[in-house]
Amino acid sequence: MLDGQAALGGALDPPSAPASAGHETGEPEFVQLLTPEGERLTHPEYDVDVTDEELRGLYRDMVVVRRLDAEGTALQRQGELALWASLLGQEAAQVGSGRALRPQDMVFPSYREHGVLYCRGIDPIKPFGLFRGVEHGGLDPHEYKFNLYTIVVGAQALHATGYAMGVALDGKVGGDDGEAVIAYFGDGASAQGDVNEAFVWASVFQAPVVFFCQNNQYAISTPVERQTRRPLVHRAAGFGFPGIRVDGNDVLACYAVTRRALDEARHGQGPSLIEACTYRMGPHTTSDDPTRYRSASEVEAWQARDPILRLRRYLANHGLADEAFFAEVDEDAARQAVTLRERVLALPDPAPLDMFDHVYAGGSPDLDAQRAEFARYLAGFAAEDAQPAESSGGGRR
Amino acid sequence: MTTLTMSKALNEGLRRALEDDPKVLIMGEDVGRLGGVFRVTDGLQKDFGEQRVFNTPLAESGIVGTAVGLALRGYRPVCEIQFDGFVYPAYDQIVSQVAKIHYRSRGRVRLPIVIRIPYGGGIGAVEHHSESPEAYFVHTPGLKVVTCSNPRDAYWMIQQAIRADDPVIFFEPKSRYWEKGEVDTDGTLADAYPLFASRVVRRVPADRPARATLIAYGPTVRTALQAAQAAADEGRELEVIDLRSLSPLDLAPVYESVRRTGRAIVVHEASRTGGLGAEIASRITEECFYSLEAPVLRVAGFDIPYPPARLEDEFLPTLDRVLDAVDRSEKW
């Protein structure tokens, strides 16, 4: 491993100090406003002005999304979900960037952005419906300014870029009311052609899109070193737009950096790349076993940089929140989790014939015929149930 | 009525679509100042500006993937894929995204994207420039797939495809780009023949016995019509149906014809195995079983990669191969 990459790739020795240390070692700048110990740092370019109430709000968001996420894992273990893709460890990257969005901004998520979805004010049950297998997504992207989850890795980067080209065609850039677009993807997706093509398109069309890469160090089992030899953030320069690396476990830094990038995009300054260095504390999904490919000591090292803990320390150390507040937030999160759990368990299975719906907006006689044939087949069972003795054995034709 | 080549008819159709709806965009490799390698978009950038008719970087997945985003934003992108053999880099976006987003969203999102693909052989081209990949798309639920065989259809079908609320893969038979035909450019879209419908293009008068039904689409419609004319010159009448829509298939006119003729032959340039002919033969068998005098036969490309151009006349369905199939059917 090149010495300049040790700190970022394996991320076992992430920069603990901002800019200056990075410059000395040749590492990319690493914006950090809140250390793992809860110390507040300032940054010449990327400071953030948030009220105490907003700080407590960010804390609450992170606790709630972590608790709801835990419910996803629990429900899968209990056989109520087919799968769950946990965001554990990435709460700061998602809440920080999610809260940086303005109402008019459009989000293109991958399949792990439950925290961003929550910040967007979307019913958190949506991903549970997907992973329970009752629907494929089912939300209206226009209503929430949040696109459907996209499972094929990296495809959404192009969708975000095209959408942003449309924003520019509509003339919705250039002022405070301009619209910006954000595309979420991970270190694994950075190797996909679609992500790199999205960089090309965004650059040459100067599309108002922010590429938010959550580098959580692993694509299932494959460490980031197999996706890239150089820091991912360096890609931006080659494609012709700014890139910035941020401590992805620092909610304030993620907020500050994303807010700035979105504002630049909405003002017509084109695309940018944010690499948020974080860590997927859990498995890739509930089907994964991370003990097969990473050490306990590595996980422990990242636990020390927990995104929630550091904000809690800061709030406590500065008298911005007391034990009663923290307890109340935990109770709030637990309450939301119980409600969500009950609603997930009550999600109805779709009716069999529903699977034929919405294949085509304009309909298809071919498909209508298949649907009618299957309905006839199903109706045969109903007829049998009604007259079991007489109709059995005679076939359903 | 105006006499136009198919290439020009498509150009005029695109022009009218751009005029009718400010949300229509044309994007692809070299579609701007050059007018596309086949000149189908000739002059459109000049008249509609670089915002609405624009060159893209050279990456097909990027063309289709950004078209998805533009469609989500409310635009109606018309993408040009330069040649059939270059669509595969976009295949993932087409199959996994374009075809599925309406379904994934439970109908909340519509993707009115048209993906134009010049296809088929017969122009002496190098490898990857003569393929007929339509079956891959027909096999993908969520896509609609059409192909034109003459300038009149080209003019109307491209406008109808752009107006459709579903993604449409629009195959243009490149060997027919330069053929001329009459086009009523003063007509209205509302009066045009329906997009997703087949058409009987040679009907045998009721007082004469029709010997077989030829089913063709795109470039092979002309081949089938020539075969039918040659057969008629020998006193044998054949009916010819131009499918036009490959997904959904409109086979009612085919069934009606086959019930009278008792014989059906499907003609396409694409390789035979797993091609459209197999699906059509299967459906004819289901619907016309007691009317058939012989199995449904296929005249198709062979199951080989598209051969070097000096052999394409042997690879492609020809008038003689079609008539040979008619003979085999009659002797069954």
Question: Looking at residue B77, which CATH number applies to its domain?
Answer: 3.40.50.970
pLDDT band for A382, please (50, 70, 90 cuts): confident
Question: Could you say which of 3.30.300.210, 3.40.50.970, 2.40.170.20, 3.50.50.60 is the CATH number of the domain covering A3-345?
Answer: 3.40.50.970
Q: Write out the residues of chain B at the interface with chain A, using a CB-CB cutoff of 8 A.
A: 25, 51, 56-57, 59, 61-62, 64-75, 89, 92-93, 96-97, 100-110, 141-142, 144, 164-166, 247-250
How many domains does chain B divide into? 2
Q: Given a cut of 80, is residue A397 above it in pLDDT?
A: no
Q: Which of A108, A19, A98, A18 is nearest to A65 (CA)?
A: A98
User: Two tokens at B58?
Assistant: 């050279």
A-chain residues within 8 Å CB-CB of B109?
A: 140-142, 148
**pLDDT score of A22:** 38
Residue B11 near residue B39 (C-beta atoms within 8 A):
yes
SS3 category, A246: strand
With 80 as the cut, is the pLDDT of residue A38 above it? yes
Same domain, B42 and B164: yes
Contact B69 A163 (CB under 8 A): yes
Cβ–Cβ under 8 Å, residues A254 and A224: no
Q: Tokens for A51, please give them.
A: 């009220």
Residues of chain B with pLDDT under 50: none
- Claim to verify: residue B114 and residue B31 sit in the same structural domain: yes
Query: In B, which residues are within 8 Å of A197 by CB distance?
Result: 57, 59, 61-62, 65
Among the listed ranges A18-32, A69-83, A315-329, B169-183, which one has the minimum average pLDDT value?
A18-32
Main-chain phi, psi angles of A27, to 5 degrees: -75, 150
Q: Would you call B215 helix, strand, or coil by DSSP?
A: strand
Q: Do B257 and B173 fall within a single domain?
A: no
B158 and B219 inside one domain: no
Q: What pLDDT shows up at residue A125?
A: 97
In a shared domain, residues B122 and B270: no
Q: What's phi and psi for A304, nearest 5 deg?
A: -65, -15
User: Tokens 């979900």 belong to which residue?
Assistant: A81
From the number of C-beta atoms within 10 Å of its C-beta (0-12, 13-18, 19+), residue A347 rates as: middle
pLDDT band at A386 (very low <50, low <70, confident <90, very high): confident
| B25 and B174 together in one domain | yes
What is the DSSP track for A344-385? HHTPPPPPGGGGGTTS-TT--HHHHHHHHHHHHHHHHHHHHH
* Test the A interface: residue of B48, B55, B66, B76 with most A CBs within 10 Å: B66
When CB atoms are compared, the residue of B62, B69, B166 closest to A360 is B166
**Nearest 5°: phi and psi at A303?**
-60, -35
Whether residue B61 and residue A159 make contact (CB cut-off 8 A), yes or no, is no
Which residue among B102, B128, B129, B268 is the active-site one? B129
Question: A47 or B86, which is more confident?
Answer: B86
Is B129 assigned a catalytic role? yes
Q: Which pair of structure tokens corresponds to residue A347?
A: 């999600």
Band (pLDDT 50/70/90 cuts) for residue A385 is confident
Contact B62 A158 (CB under 8 A): yes
CA distance B142 to B138: 9
* Annotated active-site residue in A280, A310, A312, A341: A280
Please answer yes or no on whether A361 and B141 come within 8 Å at the CB atom. no
pLDDT of residue A388: 59
Last residue of a domain, one of B191, B216, B249: B191
- Asked whether the beta carbons of residue A162 and residue B57 sit closer than 8 angstroms, the reply is no
Q: Are residues B127 and B89 in the same domain?
A: yes
Domain endpoint, select from B191, B226, B251: B191
Give chain A positions within 8 Å (CB) of B65. Answer: 155, 157-159, 161-162, 194, 197-198
Pairing of strands B245-247, B144-147: antiparallel
C-alpha separations of A223 from A11, A154, A228, B248 in Å: 11, 17, 10, 45
Q: Are residues B281 and B249 in the same domain?
A: yes
pLDDT in tens, A57-72: 999 999 999 999 999 9
Give Cβ neighbours of residue A99 (< 8 Å, ≥ 6 apart).
A57, A58, A61, A119, A255
In one letter, which amino acid is B157?
A: M
pLDDT at A272 over 50: yes
Mutate to test the interface with B, among A159, A167, A195, A354 (most CBs of B within 10 A): A159
We report the CATH number of the domain holding residue B247 as 3.40.50.920
**pLDDT > 90: what percent of chain A?**
87
Indicate yes or no: CB of A194 within 8 angstroms of CB of B62.
yes
User: Nearest-CA neighbor of B68 among B80, B54, B58, B79?
Assistant: B79
- Do residue B65 and residue B187 come from a single domain? yes
Of the candidates A77, A293, A360, A377, the residue annotated as catalytic is A293
Show Cβ contacts of residue B273 under 8 Å, excluding neighbours closer than 6 positions.
B303
- Cα distance between residue A74 and residue A67, in whole Å: 11
pLDDT at A328: 98
Tell whether the model's pLDDT for residue A233 goes beyond 50: yes
Ordered alpha helix ranges (H), chain A: 3-6, 19-25, 52-77, 91-100, 114-119, 126-132, 141-144, 155-169, 193-205, 235-239, 251-266, 296-303, 307-317, 323-345, 365-386, 388-391
pLDDT of the residue at A389: 55
What the block records as the tokens of A391 is: 């109709």
pLDDT digits (tens, 9 = 90+) for A91-143: 999 999 999 999 999 999 999 999 999 999 999 999 999 999 999 987 899 99
Size of interface A-B (CB pairs under 8 A): 146
Do B51 and B126 share a domain, yes or no? yes
Predicted local distance difference test score (pLDDT) of residue A27: 67
| Residue A203 pLDDT > 60 | yes
B32 lies in which domain range?
A: 2-191
For tokens 């008019």, name the residue: A104
pTM, two decimal places: 0.94
Mutate to test the interface with B, among A167, A360, A368, A371 (most CBs of B within 10 A): A360
Chain A residues near residue B197 by CB distance under 8 angstroms: none
Averaged pLDDT score across all residues of chain A = 91
A158/B61 touch (CB, cutoff 8 Å), yes or no: yes
